[in-house]
């Protein structure tokens, strides 16, 4: 729990930096195109990410942020993210930004998301592309969204899709996001903004992040009791049999 608390407190602070804020706007731009398709009662985000500028895009009645760290001036659910105090099948949509990267065993987090998510609910993952410049920068510690002591465990989009498909999910959307290299200078970030538009047409190099939207499918079985058919013509004389006998005679 202490390790999760330190990681997510550092992640919240990283999203408030110039580089983290630009990544947050890229996530929000991606969700703007699809947010109208999601609706329901309850939305849950795993971890606080700065100002969480994408949350107002969603029109859910209840929107909660679960995080292991106590962040001042924010209304949060303080909890371990792989042991959520939430009932099974109670959440309509789960947002998971950098969630797999925060855990050495990411599958346990996917199982917890699957537990709380309703049937036909949606899970939205933002992850780091390990084969990009960003993946190399995170791996070697040049960019640290969590903390200095713990190195990120990067998981490719293919690994995540395979884990979701094995649990019966349907992949609704998969997109690559953010082609600006991991530079920290606000001046360079602004100057390299054109790479995001350029990356939509040609790929000068792999995108830094990916977004996967998956829908949970669950097989349903009927609860109707099978009605045993009443035997016909048992110990009874059929009308047709009588007619046949009459014709034979």
Domain spans of the chain, in order of start? 2-248
Q: Can you spell out the DSSP letters for the chain?
A: -HHHHHHHHHHHHHTTSHHHHHHHHHHHHHHHTTGGG--SSEEEEES--TT-TTGGG---SEEEEEESS--TT---EE--TTS-S--TT-EEEEEEETTGGG-SSHHHHHHHHHHHEEEEEEEEEEEE-TTSHHHHHHHTTSS-SS-SSS------HHHHHHHHHHTTEEEEEEEEE--S-S---HHHHHHTTHHHHHHHH--SS--SEEEEEEEE-------PPPPPPPPSSSSS--HHHHHHHHHH-
Buried b (16+ CB within 10 A) or exposed e, 68-87: bbeeeeeebeebebbebebe
Q: How far apart are CA 32 and CA 28, in angstroms?
A: 6
Confidence of residue 41 (pLDDT cuts 50, 70, 90): very high
pLDDT averaged over the chain? 80
Q: Mean pLDDT, to the nearest integer, of 43-60?
A: 93
Which tokens sit at 149? 């002591």
Q: Is the pLDDT of residue 131 over 80?
A: yes
Q: How far apart are CA 181 and CA 32, in angstroms?
A: 23
Q: Are 152 and 159 in contact (CB under 8 A)?
A: no
Q: What are phi and psi of 107, to 5 degrees?
A: -65, -30
The CA angle 201-206-209, to the nearest 5 degrees, is: 100
Confidence of residue 227 (pLDDT cuts 50, 70, 90): very low
- Where is average pLDDT lowest: 49-63, 85-99, 124-138? 124-138
Q: How far apart are CA 246 and CA 249, in angstroms?
A: 5
Q: Are 114 and 85 in contact (CB under 8 A)?
A: no
**CA proximity to 27, closest of 8, 52, 62:** 52
pTM of the model: 0.80
Task: For domain 2-248, give the CATH superfamily.
Answer: Vaccinia Virus protein VP39 (3.40.50.150)
- The pLDDT, as a whole number, for residue 234 is 40
Q: Mean pLDDT, to the nearest integer, of 95-106?
A: 80
**CA proximity to 101, closest of 55, 53, 135:** 135
Q: Is the pLDDT of residue 125 over 50?
A: yes
- The pLDDT, as a whole number, for residue 224 is 47
- The pLDDT, as a whole number, for residue 194 is 72
Confidence of residue 149 (pLDDT cuts 50, 70, 90): low
């Amino acid at each position: 729990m202490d390790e999760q608390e330190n990681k997510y407190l550092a992640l919240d602070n990283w999203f408030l930096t110039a580089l983290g804020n630009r990544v947050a706007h890229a996530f929000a731009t991606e969700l703007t195109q699809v947010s109208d398709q999601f609706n329901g009662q309850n939305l849950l985000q795993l971890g606080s990410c700065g100002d969480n500028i994408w949350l107002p895009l969603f029109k859910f009645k209840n929107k909660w942020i679960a995080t292991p760290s106590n962040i001042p001036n924010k209304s949060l659910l303080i909890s371990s993210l792989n042991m959520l105090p939430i009932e099974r099948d109670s959440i309509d949509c789960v947002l998971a930004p950098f969630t797999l990267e925060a855990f050495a065993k990411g599958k346990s987090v996917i199982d917890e998301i699957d537990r709380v998510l309703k049937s036909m609910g949606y899970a939205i993952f933002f992850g780091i592309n390990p084969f990009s410049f960003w993946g190399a920068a995170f791996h070697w510690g040049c960019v640290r969204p969590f903390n200095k002591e713990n190195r990120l465990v990067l998981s490719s989009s293919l690994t995540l899709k395979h884990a979701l498909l094995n649990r019966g999910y349907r992949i609704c959307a998969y997109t690559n996001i953010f082609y600006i290299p991991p530079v920290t200078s606000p001046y360079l970030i602004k100057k390299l903004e054109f790479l995001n538009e350029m990356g939509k047409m040609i790929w000068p190099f792999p995108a830094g992040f990916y977004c996967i939207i998956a829908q949970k499918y669950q097989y349903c079985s009927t609860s109707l009791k099978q009605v045993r058919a009443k035997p016909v013509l048992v110990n009874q004389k059929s009308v047709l049999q009588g007619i046949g006998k009459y014709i034979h005679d």
